[in-house]
Amino acid sequence: MTEKELIRRCRKKNAKAQKLLYKTYHGSLLGVCLRYGKSKAEAEDILQMGMMKIYKSIGSYSGKGSFEGWMKRIVVNTAVDNFRKNHKHYYHENLDDVYGDTNLAGNIPDNLEVKDILNTIQRLSPGYRMVFNLYAIEGYSHKEIASKLGISESTSKTQLMKARLKLQKMLLSIERIPKYTSDEKTPPVYQKILKKDALVTVDLVTQE
């Protein structure tokens, strides 16, 4: 079944089509949710809520642009709503030690795998994880993040800086057997998310 036909049937609330849609995109959408949830269980809950919104609003998909990208935006917004509902008092904490060592990336071993990054992102505290994902991976500006989360732009910037520093420090503690050769020119994926203003261009999905 083509994507166009699948969408057409889902618009008619065809149960089999909805099930196929879920099965087809479960992996990639769960990968998004895993970056926002503190556990796989919470990520699955976010995905379930997101899929319900997708089924309900699929009639508004114009057909322009990536359908998967359209679904991912809904899932991200669902994750944001879940965060605001469950962590609304998070930003009242003291923001200390903001200006730490910002040059840690160069000391991190270059043999990490995608699952290392995903697991480490999940270990960030809720607010750091949310701002980091929205800015470094989804590409939102601090102004947009502030609007989504109901915080100030300065708070968003501070949360991002602290998130990046904590992430770098945690990655430094991971030890793996080297698997990258010295002549390999393509940098490991983690370097993309540690560089200032860089965007991640790969999906961070779970690896069982």
pLDDT in tens, 140-168: 999 999 999 888 999 999 989 888 888 88
What confidence score (pLDDT) does residue 108 get?
A: 46
Distance between CA atoms of residues 193 and 136, nearest Å:
6
What DSSP element (H or E) covers 52? helix 40-57
What confidence score (pLDDT) does residue 122 get?
A: 82
What confidence score (pLDDT) does residue 113 get?
A: 62
- At 176, which amino acid appears? R
pLDDT in tens, 4-24: 999 999 999 999 999 999 999
Question: Is residue 67 within 8 Å of 7, Cβ to Cβ?
Answer: yes
pLDDT in tens, 42-93: 999 999 999 999 999 999 998 888 999 999 999 999 999 988 887 655 544 4
Rounded to two decimals, the pTM is 0.69
* Domains of the chain, CATH where assigned: 3-86 (1.10.1740.10), 90-194 (1.10.10.10)
Neighbours of 79 (CB within 10 A): 26
pLDDT in tens, 82-128: 888 876 555 444 333 333 444 444 444 455 566 777 778 888 888 88
What confidence score (pLDDT) does residue 112 get?
A: 55
